[in-house]
Amino acid sequence: MKRTWRFYAAVWAGKLSGALLKLLGRTGTTLPGAVAQRLDPACIAHLGASLPEGVLLVTGTNGKTTTANLLANILRAAGKDFAFNQAGANLVTGITGALLQDTGWSGRLRVPLALLEVDEATVPKVCAQITPRLAIITNFFRDQLDRYGELDTTVRLVRNALPRATALVLNADDPLVAQFGIGRSDKRAADPSGVMHQGVIYYGVERIPESSAVSGETREARFCPLCGAPLEYTLFHYGQLGLFACPSCSFRRPLPHLQAQQVRMEEGKLYFRVGVNAYEVALQGYYNLYNALAAVAAAVQLDIDGEAIARGLREFVPQAGRMERFLLLEGEVTLALVKNPTGFNQVIHTVLNGGAAGIRLLIAINDLAADGRDVSWLWDVDFERLGAAAEAGEGRVDLVVCTGLRAEDMALRLKYAGVPEDRLRIEHSAEKALALVSAGRGGREAVYVLPTYTMLFPLRTLLEAAAAHTGRGLSAEGRASA
């Protein structure tokens, strides 16, 4: 593709706006990307053309940020240089801005490779300009229906956008993802750099401690994508993820190339094996097993050696709001982003199985554009588990503070879920809500802060300030990700 004056103007204007932000003491990639896109909408295509090792793309509903950062840590352990939208700005403007950070004034990237977390609805826009070398697809769940529309629409958009030349790393346990491999070969073929790779590589889980032959959870994929017959399961992991097969046609859970076995969680870490290789990663929640496994599968596809993969996982530090821990004067506080029913259910499961004598929750729900305007999804979350735990002994829910623009909606949902009214509080001030959830806290009580996206960083800022004020700072995870 021939570069024009518009491209060079876009690069210079974008980089100058980034430099201006730094002078003002601010950070960000969205504004420089927006400036560059305004001058040259094909900016990503021009920048991508100067990457000899291509683009690695990560998309899906849940786990994009964690998966991308896990893979980034593995790439660093392997000594790779790459561009990366680490801040999670995964729309066109943020992706453009991230690429510009590693672009010289000549318009050429200074690194050979790019790792891009891409919003599902943005995948068609990105793939219209570049052909990713590899695409990781984590899972598909209902999320922000007002923005994405029905889930089938999102799946179709992503599936139709991915070029045939792109190698796929697919979650074998999610029928909505596994179907992307239909009609694609899993035989080894040469990528653009001449290295032999498989066209499709599947990753999956043998079982987790909570796997069951029956499930009462909401499932997104009930029907076969080929013939429409109801899918049958021999094992559920969570949501629609598990061992599935169609009784009427050939569609079934593919045999994973990489399968996690001997999965366990101890002291805030996940442990698992893939074949003869043992891995550990400082993440809570079995749903994060899939994020780690996706990163491992991608690294194997990229021919990264096993020692670098293990070290990259072992030295990983969670990103902002992904079970991030803060050490305050009153004790430890864990911050976890929640944004859709399945993700919230998995966080609830992790909270209730954390081993604490008592649990206190601060749930912060907003309905701004980035959160999704429609909060009816709260009624699909299994808050009844909190209602049941409110009356339990060990691990009982002692207090739930609701804040955010939709605090009353959240409190009402919890009341109907069986959480006693005397355990519920509404406090619209985020600062006061944090103080309230920690007031009179016992020594063995665990505190979790669960915000939607636009409440995540305001609450994180308050937690950072509180941690700094006590002189104890962030936990090991928090320090490295701050």
Which residues are annotated as catalytic? 374
Contact 259, 203 (CB under 8 A): yes
What DSSP line would sit under 324-350, residue for residue?
Answer: EEEEETTEEEEEE---SHHHHHHHHHH
Please check if 224 is assigned to a binding site.
yes
Concatenate the DSSP letters of all residues of 59-74 into one string: E-SSSHHHHHHHHHHH
From residue 88, alpha-carbon distances to 29, 91, 116, 430, 453 in Å are: 10, 9, 9, 23, 12
d(CA 295, CA 169): 9
Task: Confirm whether residue 402 is marked as ligand binding.
Answer: no
Contact of 354 with 321, CB cutoff 8 Å: no
Hey, CA dihedral for 169, 174, 177, 180, is it positive or negative? positive
3-class state of residue 48 by DSSP? helix
Separation of alpha carbons 74 and 309, rounded Å? 5
Beta bridge partners of 76: none
- Residue 251 is classified by DSSP as -
What are the two backbone dihedrals, phi and then psi, of residue 279, each rounded to the nearest 5 degrees?
-130, 155
Two structure tokens written together for 308? 């670098």
Phi-psi region of 194 (alpha: psi -120 to 50; beta: other; left: phi over 0): left
* Amino acid occupying residue 20: L
Structure tokens at 120: 């599902």
Residue ranges at the known binding site for Zn(2+): 224, 227, 246, 249
Which residues are documented as binding site?
Answer: 224, 227, 246, 249
